[in-house]
Amino acid sequence: MKKLACFLKMEPLNFNKVLKGRFRHIAGFFPAEDKYMKRFAELMLNDSKLIDIVGVWRTEQSKIAEFFSQATNVPLDTLEAFKFDPPWTEALKGNKVLVIHPFDETIRKQYKKRRQLFVDKRVLPDFELKTFRAVQSAADSKVDFKTWFDALDYMCREIDKIDFDIALIGAGAYGFPLAAYVKSIGKKAVHMGGVSQLLFGIQGNRWDRQDYYQALYNDQWTRASEVETPKNCLKVEGGSYW
């Protein structure tokens, strides 16, 4: 947020070595060079104008209000539908739901046993599930694109070919602009980020040691498949999602 604020105020951006490393390994952004990172900042600022509701992390509410005044602020954990009664995901019932995520295969398998994943069956109602495997370029994963923007453009073109009503998105740094694109073509999008996998009963290291999530897990939950796990996944926050 601070970097975006600097850009907005036309202050010089300092993309230091540490930040570039995080962009490359954690966010999967490539090449992590100043001109591309500046373009990324421009894209994020432009797409932020399309936000309707934004999940706010801890003390960032005042910053969000300053830069994205059109958006309604909610606590970030509102994205975790299973924490609420009723869960907002109940509204997915009967819709064509596109899930954009690197764990597409596991998501399809888990949805088939949705009745066994949560005590509250409303968390995963009956809907027409469609999936699209998001490009996975984090953790030094090899991809067939020259730049991150080429990968984003590819995904937008592929999304155009899919018939859906609502998109649930967990796609790393691609997620936010993908959600903006979905809205721009007249569809609805929820950029869930990392917690997307929890909705489908997929465990991750980030949640394994937290009591709340330990209680949520059951023997029907699973982990991303070997195919969906990058060789260097530990570079992404210690393997948070695997």
pLDDT reported for residue 223: 99
pLDDT reported for residue 64: 65
- Residue 6 pLDDT grade (very low, low, confident, very high; cuts 50, 70, 90): low
- Residue 18 pLDDT grade (very low, low, confident, very high; cuts 50, 70, 90): very high
pLDDT tens, residue by residue, 106-131: 999 999 999 999 999 999 999 999 99
The more confidently predicted of residues 162 and 15 is 162
Radius of gyration of the chain from its Cα atoms, rounded to whole angstroms:
18
Q: What's the rounded mean pLDDT across residues 7-12?
A: 53
Query: What are the strands, taking DSSP E only, across the chain?
Result: 53-56, 72-75, 96-101, 128-133, 166-169, 188-191
pTM over cut 0.85:
yes
- Residue 55 pLDDT grade (very low, low, confident, very high; cuts 50, 70, 90): confident
Which residue shows structure tokens 């539908």? 81
Q: Which residues contact 92 (CB under 8 A, 6 or more apart)?
A: 125, 127, 166
pLDDT reported for residue 56: 83
- Provide the β-strand partners of residue 101: 133
- For residue 136, which phi and psi values (nearest 5 degrees)? -110, 100
Average pLDDT, the chain: 93
Q: Containing H/E element for 3?
A: helix 2-8
pLDDT reported for residue 26: 93
Structure tokens at 71: 């958006």
pLDDT reported for residue 233: 96
pLDDT tens, residue by residue, 134-179: 999 999 899 999 999 999 999 999 999 999 999 999 999 999 999 9
Answer whether residue 61 shows pLDDT above 70. no
